[in-house]
Amino acid sequence: MTSNGVFQILLYCSLILALTKPAGAFMARLFAGERTFLHPVLRPFERLCYVLIGVREDAEQRWTQYAASLLSFSFWSFLLLFLLQRWQSLLPLNPSGFGPGVTPDLAFNTAVSFVTNTNWQSYSGESTYSYLVQMAGLTVQNFASAAAGLAVAIAVIRGFARQQTNTLGNFWVDITRAAVYILLPLSVLAALFFCSQGVIQNFTPPTVVTTLEGQQQVIAQGPVASQEAIKMLGTNGGGFFNANSAHPFENPTPLTNLLQMVLIFVLPAGLTYTFGRMVGDQRQGWALFSAMSVLFLAGVFVVYAAEQAGNPNLTQLGVASIASEDQPGGNMEGKEVRFGIAATALFATITTAASCGAVIGMHDSFTPLGGLVPLFNMQVGEVIFGGVGAGLYGMLLFAILAVFIAGLMVGRTPEYLGKRIEGKEVKMAMLGLIATAAAILLFSGASTGFTANLNNGGPHGFAEILYAYTSAAANNGSAFAGLNANTPWFNTTLGIAMLIGRFLIIIPMLAAAGNLASKKRLAVTSGTLPTHGLLFVTLLIGTIVIVGALTFFPALSLGPIVEHFLLQQGRLF
Amino acid sequence: MTRSRPLSDPAILRRALRDSFVKLHPAKLIKNPVIFVVEVGAFMTTALLLRDLATGAADTGFNFQISLWLWFTVLFANFAEAMAEARGKAQADSLRKTKTHSVAKRLQPNGKTEEVSASQLRAGDHVICETGDTIPGDGEVVDGIATVDESVITGESAPVIRESGGDRSAVTGGTRVLSDRIQIRITSNPGETFLDRMIALVEGADRKKTPNEIALNILIAGLTLIFLLAVVTLQPISASSGAPPSVAVLVALLVCLIPTTIGGLLSAIGIAGMDRVMQYNVLAMSGKAVEAAGDVNTLLLDKTGTITIGNRQAVEFLPVAGVLETELAEAGQLSSFADETPEGRSVVVLAKEKYGLRGRELSHHEAHFIPFSAYTRMSGVDMNSDHLRKGATESIAQFVREQGGAVPDELHDLAARVSRQGGTPLAVANGRRALGIIHLKDVVKGGMKDRLAELRRMGIQTVMITGDNPLTAAAIAAEAGVDNFLAQASPADKLNYIKKEQAEGRLVAMTGDGTNDAPALAQADVGLAMNTGTMAAKEAGNMVDLDSNPTKLIEVVGIGKQLLITRGALTTFSIANDVAKYFAIIPAMFMTAYPALGALNIMGLHSSQSAVLSAVIFNALIIIVLVPLALRGVKYRPESAGALLRRNLLVYGLGGLVSPFPAIWIIDQFVHALGLA
């Protein structure tokens, strides 16, 4: 590791730390229905939205209504996006004339992918979809799915914050506020900045140029900046181009790279503060923030160390693996020279910790341990800051489990934030855990026969499959690459995994929140388990790591772990 | 009295061993999903073993041992539960023996009695019980007074008095009249009596899972499902590796991963918790009540009998001006000689201790004792020319005025001062001279202050309930160290206080015995009724203290906490254990396909078979090792939640993570040395 690399990582962390409070406080005010500094400008627009969709702003919903609203919103979004893809050849803004070649299974996969905030891409953007589908379809869903995630997180927080009520807020109001006051303004600003740095934004058909060697090269064009901003801010991760943020038109400079990374974490980190504010104890929010930070830093440094150490077999061949003035050392395979090892390790950890899935390097080309961390980050359920909203409610799922298991050891019925954790909550938390574990393990197990779709064999080939389903079920969307997933089997099963990973977490968490909201808040005494100190943070981390490790250790041991040991013995895949 | 039983009672052990086999029946075992999965696994490996034996395949020795230990795992889990149940059943048997088929003398409308079997009695019948009769059923004394031996229920051999009217009218079926004759109105039908309920409770026959137990069951069943997924999918995942693990090894891995430790011990912990309450001679009507006791935030404690000893004691002589302290002490002592009340005796004792007054020999012809009467509200002695009286300040003042004396204002001032300090003033006069005040004080029970401080550390606030005026109550509350008090408390006040606390999100426990306590007992989250109390009170509460000792509420809270801690500790331990088992089994499983994974064999286990076998053996043995802990409960210390969590996380969390490593290593040494694998 170089001091420059460590500096980049710490600089990034300080930026997130500094932004957590302002972002969180803003969201807390917004979702509590208080006025913010944006209200003078945006309030009329918000009102207009309610008039258009016919929603009364003060109408509260029970958890079932909230969940039903979310499901119907997602269903219509899915249908719209599905049809847009299927009919793109009939619609405008298609300068490349992409035809009706989008198969039903790919259209299904892509529609599910963007509606569930996964943004798994079985396709290459620049060679599959028209500008209209990219903008009106994919980019719109980038906003919609992120706003929906944010709304669910707020509803779940309300479950803890409220007492003796059966309502959790109004989905339509929450999603409107999330989009109008948070996602749109920030995206506009970020897109403008990206343009200033060289990210393109146009409707020009692909440019054909003659290279120095005299070859013809097609340079893809398109409305990239507008999609790029929300791709990061909404932890979507679906790139305009197949190369995603490694593409110079998506992510041209170190500054855009830094901003992209900041955009991924700003809302998930801020939500921990919002959480503290809404439940009336800021320390509770910082406890979650700390647990996430510890897991995040551990991950970053493992990846960085593994990547900087490089491949020992190359070292034996005399390749310099130590960083020097002239070269970065370590494992540069699949990495952009613009960004280098530290930034790529950092980006890879961020994008898999949050359910973003944008990449600036190929995770498939990481060392086994370097690839293990992104895989593990996703397998613990994207709770290390996590997706917009999804990270927080995923973390609260683990908090419920941690409190339930260890809370008994203080000699009381476990309680979190004054709410008793009983059968219903445990049932819902377990349902969420089982659903994602089942989606990852069963589909991976069932897909091991498709070796023809893999670039690599052995444990690395298995890791490619495991990574795909993990990424889908965790709603991450990043690809390990090396797996040709654009087949009916993979498109369909990955789509199902995404649906499970999204809705079989959201619905149980909303159910738990609905139940919690109806409970009375218990008084806090010195006999109450403290959930804001170092002890609880340790406990929460332990629960996440152990539950995650116990579930996936057998599978991981046949993937990256054994690959690591084989690498040490000089066997590669 | 506690009825503790040793863990190694041979009769109980025998019974538990037998029951462990009975419980193998899948229909019974399916209620415990974790152990049921183990049984299914054991069936599978046994079936495969039989197939291998028939076909003469290799490795039957290893498969045999795996099957054997899987069956042991099921048996050990059954044994834990059977052990807990057997302890209850043994006690139920001894109770049942006392449930004789007694003959009752039923009162007929014409006033005559007829002899009927106790089982024919119905609620509303009247029966007569005389010396030596066993009371045929639960009821209420409607006429007469008798001494009753209730040792069947309470274990306390001293007889108690039962009389009609008031709060001592309840009698329990199965107890015996020692003297006199009473008429009883039967209040419960056969099979529904207190004794029946008690038998059912200790036997655990209709034991319902408590809410927390249900939640924990969901957790471990969910984990079982997750591990099932993890292990089942290993088969296809490892298929490509060339040497997939055998079914026996996969089953072994599954059994090691699913939380068999807590799954096997969970119901034993619950039963044992009820049993521990029982050993304190408290009858909890449900396991839920015991759990609720652990959650309590506020304890309502009656002042008299709980915080203070029942009687007041003289602590100080306060003479008015012009009277020597010794003169007051002597007058007080003389006037109290015939006073047999504890207060009276304490005056004599104080005078003796403080002034060395031995007390003169008084014979009846020179002294004429005036007994206390409710009318005069004073007592004393006439002796020669002395007319010594002691009593309430007002009564004494009136006596002095009647004798032609004047009452100094100072007397009232002194009396007021004593009241302010939480004491009771007792005025003393000799004829027309008012001498002074004796300070009678409520005496806080020894050790009570420490216990209340202990409760505070546990985050439980204590509220003293008293009929005293607020001034007196405040003084005693301060001395005892209770957090709050409710003075001049009527039953309605108690009920309102409980409701207020509950509205603020606190759980409340209280004790009570009178019929007018019943609403509050029912409202409280934990209502501990005294066995001496009325049926109404016993029905309203969710626990009955057979010794009628209200201080026990504190112990009950401790037991409730201990129960929950034991569950949490063993769950944590069970889950943490899995890490070590992975390190034993995973490298062993894939030793053939990927020898490189041997790097994970950090324990250096001898061979892949001995590694798997050692993990399975550890997994089975740990259940048996932890049975005593499950039955006795984790040691509970009154500490803050933070301190408790830190300690228990260290012991059971970190301990659970680390301890299996050496344990499995040792087992592996044995397995290797004995040539088992």
Q: How many other CB atoms sit within 10 Å of the CB of residue B181? A: 14
Q: Are the beta carbons of B596 and A445 separated by less than 8 Å?
A: no
The whole-number pLDDT of residue B205 equals 60
**What are residue B35's DSSP bridge partners?**
none
pLDDT per residue as tens digits for the range A408-423: 899 888 999 999 999 9
Tell if the CB–CB gap between A555 and B239 is shorter than 8 Å. Answer: no
Shortest distance between the Cα of A226 and any Cα of chain B, in A, equals 41
Asked if B290 is an interface residue toward chain A (Cβ–Cβ < 8 A), one would say no
**Chain B (537-576) residues lying within 8 Å, Cβ to Cβ, of chain A:** 560-562, 564-565, 567-569, 571-572, 575-576
Say which amino acid occupies A432: G
B202 vs A68 pLDDT, higher one: A68
Identify which has the larger pLDDT, A265 or B431.
Answer: A265
Q: Residue B654's closest chain A neighbor by CA?
A: A542
| Model confidence at B373: pLDDT above 80 | no
A305-309, B292-296, B352-356, B586-590: the lowest-pLDDT one: B352-356
Which of B213, B219, B253, B525 has the most A C-beta neighbours within 10 Å, making it the best mutation to test the interface with A? B219
Nearest CB neighbour to A433, from listed B226, B239, B505: B226
Q: Can you tell me the mean pLDDT for B211-239? A: 91
Q: How far is B273 from chain A (nearest CA, A)?
A: 13
Amino acid identity at A76:
W
- Residue A229 CB neighbour total at 10 angstroms: 28
Q: Is the pLDDT of residue A156 over 50?
A: yes
Q: In chain A, which residues have their Cβ closer than 8 Å to the Cβ of B572?
A: 405-406, 409
Whether B644 has its CB under 8 Å from any CB of chain A: the answer is yes
Q: Two tokens at A534?
A: 């170092």
Whether residue B468 has pLDDT greater than 60: yes
- Partner A contacted by B507 (CB < 8 A): yes
Chain A residues in contact with B253 by the CB 8 A cut-off are 554
Q: To the nearest whole angstrom, how far is the Cα of B180 from the nearest Cα of chain A?
A: 48
- In contact, A436 and A472? CB cutoff 8 Å: no
pLDDT in tens, B630-656: 998 998 888 888 899 999 999 999 999
What tokens were used for B283? 């009858």
Q: Can you give the pLDDT at residue B1?
A: 37
Higher pLDDT: B245 or A26? It is: A26
Token pair belonging to B165: 């009217």
| DSSP three-state, residue B283 | strand
pLDDT tens column, B475-490:
888 888 889 999 888 8
With 80 as the cut, is the pLDDT of residue B304 above it? Answer: no
Position A344 pLDDT exceeds 90: yes
Average pLDDT over residues A187-202: 95
Residue of A nearest to B585 (CA): A554
pLDDT, residue A56, reads: 92
Q: CA-nearest residue of chain B to A418?
A: B505
Is A554 close to B234, i.e. CB distance below 8 A? yes
Residue B302 annotated as catalytic: yes
Question: Where residue B360 falls among pLDDT bands split at 50, 70, 90?
Answer: low
pLDDT at B101 over 80: no
Q: Does the beta-carbon distance from B215 to A404 stay under 8 Å?
A: yes
Q: Residue B162: what pLDDT?
A: 85
| CB pair distance less than 8 Å for A404 and B236 | no
Torsion angles phi and psi, residue B146, rounded to 5:
-155, 155
Q: Do A448 and B239 touch (CB under 8 A)?
A: yes
Cβ neighbours for A481, distance < 8 A, ≥ 6 positions apart: A362, A363, A364, A365, A455, A464
pLDDT at residue number A118:
93
CA closest to B641 among chain A residues: A527
At residue A233, the pLDDT reads 95
Decide if pLDDT at A66 tops 70: yes
Pick from B214, B218, B257 the residue to mutate for testing the A interface (most A CBs within 10 Å). Answer: B218
**10 Å Cβ neighbour count for A312?**
14
**Which tokens hold the place of A214?**
């005299």
Which residue, among A283, A379, A409, would best test binding to B if mutated, counting the most B CBs under 10 Å from its CB?
A409
Residues 6+ apart with CB under 8 A from B542: B284, B285, B286, B288, B289, B292, B526, B527
pLDDT, tens digit, for every residue of A471-493?
A: 999 999 888 878 888 899 999 99
Contacts of B238 in chain A (CB under 8 A): 558
CA distance A30 to A33: 5
Distance CA(A462)–CA(A483), nearest Å, equals 10
Residue B2: pLDDT over 50:
no
CA distances from A57 to A45, A46, A47, A175, A177 (A): 13, 10, 9, 12, 11
Q: pLDDT, tens digit, for every residue of A198-229?
A: 999 999 999 999 999 989 999 999 999 999 99
Q: Looking at this protein, which amino acid is placed at residue B116?
A: V
Percent of chain A with pLDDT over 90: 75
The whole-number average pLDDT for the span B390-398 is 88
pLDDT number for residue A429: 95
* pLDDT at residue B98 tops 80: no
Residue A53: pLDDT above 70? yes
Banded model confidence at residue B99, pLDDT cuts 50, 70, 90: low
CB contact under 8 A, B219 and A405: yes
Instruction: Please tell me the predicted confidence (pLDDT) of residue B458.
Output: 82
Q: What is the pTM of this model?
A: 0.88
8-state DSSP, B207: P
Catalytic residue from among B302, B442, B468, B517: B302
Query: Would you put residue A458 in left (φ > 0), alpha (ψ -120 to 50) or beta?
Result: left
Lowest mean pLDDT: which of A186-200, B145-159, B440-454, B582-596?
B145-159
Taking CA B273 as the corner, what is the angle to CA B270 and CA B275, rounded to the nearest 5 degrees?
A: 115
Cα angle: A219, vertex A223, A227; to 5 degrees: 120
Six token digits for residue A464? 């490619």
Q: Return the pLDDT at A229.
A: 94
Higher per-residue pLDDT: B67 or B350:
B67
Total CB pairs under 8 A between chain A and B: 220
- Chain A residue with CA closest to B288: the answer is A413
pLDDT digits (tens, 9 = 90+) for A258-303: 999 999 999 999 999 999 999 999 999 999 999 999 999 999 999 9
Rounded-to-integer distance, Cα A502 and Cα A236, Å: 13
Distances (CA, A) of B22 to A399, B26, B89, B253: 40, 10, 16, 27
CA A75 to CA B433: how far, in whole Å? Answer: 98
- Whole-angstrom distance, CA of residue B35 vs CA of residue B42: 10
Nearest CB to B218; choose among A423, A438, A520: A423
Whether the CB-CB separation of B588 and B612 falls below 8 Å is answered with yes
**Chain A partners of B460 at a C-beta cutoff of 8 Å?**
525, 527
Q: CB B640 to CB A401 under 8 A?
A: no
pLDDT of residue B364: 52
How far apart CA B372 and CA B324 sit, in angstroms, is 26
Neighbours of A337 (CB within 10 A): 8
Q: Measure CB to CB from residue B215 to each of A410, A423, A445 and give the nearest one.
A: A423
Residue in the block written with tokens 């619950």: B270
| pLDDT reading at B453 higher than 60 | yes
For residue A465, the chain B residue with the least C-alpha distance is B237
| Mutant choice from B208, B224, B226 vs A, greatest count of A C-beta within 10 A | B226
- Whether the pLDDT of residue B448 is over 60: the answer is yes
Q: Which helix (H) or strand (E) holds B561?
A: helix B552-589
Asked if the Cβ–Cβ distance from B229 to A441 is below 8 Å, we say yes
Letter string b/e over residues A70-105, b meaning 16 or more CB atoms within 10 A of that residue's CB: beebbeebbebbbebbbebeeeeebebebeeebbeb
Question: Looking at the predicted structure, is the pLDDT value of residue B474 above 70?
Answer: yes
Q: What are A423-473's pLDDT values in tens digits?
A: 999 999 999 999 999 999 999 999 988 878 888 888 888 899 999 999 999
Predicted confidence (pLDDT) at residue B569 exceeds the cutoff of 90: yes
Q: How many residues are there in chain B?
A: 677
The pLDDT assigned to A19 comes to 97
pLDDT at A512: 96
Q: Would you put residue A378 in left (φ > 0), alpha (ψ -120 to 50) or beta?
A: alpha
**CB contact (8 A) between residue B579 and residue A549:** yes
Domain boundaries, chain A: 22-281
CA–CA gap between residue B321 and residue B310 (Å, rounded): 33
Q: Are A527 and B504 in contact (CB < 8 Å)?
A: no
> Among partner residues B219, B226, B590, which is closest to A437 by beta-carbon distance?
B226
On chain B, the residues whose CB falls within 8 A of the CB of A406 are 568, 572, 645, 648-649, 653
Stretch A48-74: mean pLDDT, rounded?
A: 95
Burial letters for B543-569: b for 16+ Cβ neighbours within 10 Å, e otherwise? Answer: bbbbbbbbbbbbbbbbbbbbbbbbbbb
**What band does B358 get if pLDDT is binned at 50, 70 and 90?**
low
Residues of A in contact with B646 (CB under 8 A): 535
Q: Which of A516-520, B139-143, B342-346 has the lowest mean pLDDT?
A: B342-346
> What's the rounded mean pLDDT across residues B11-34?
90
For the cut 60, the answer to whether the pLDDT of residue A160 exceeds it is yes
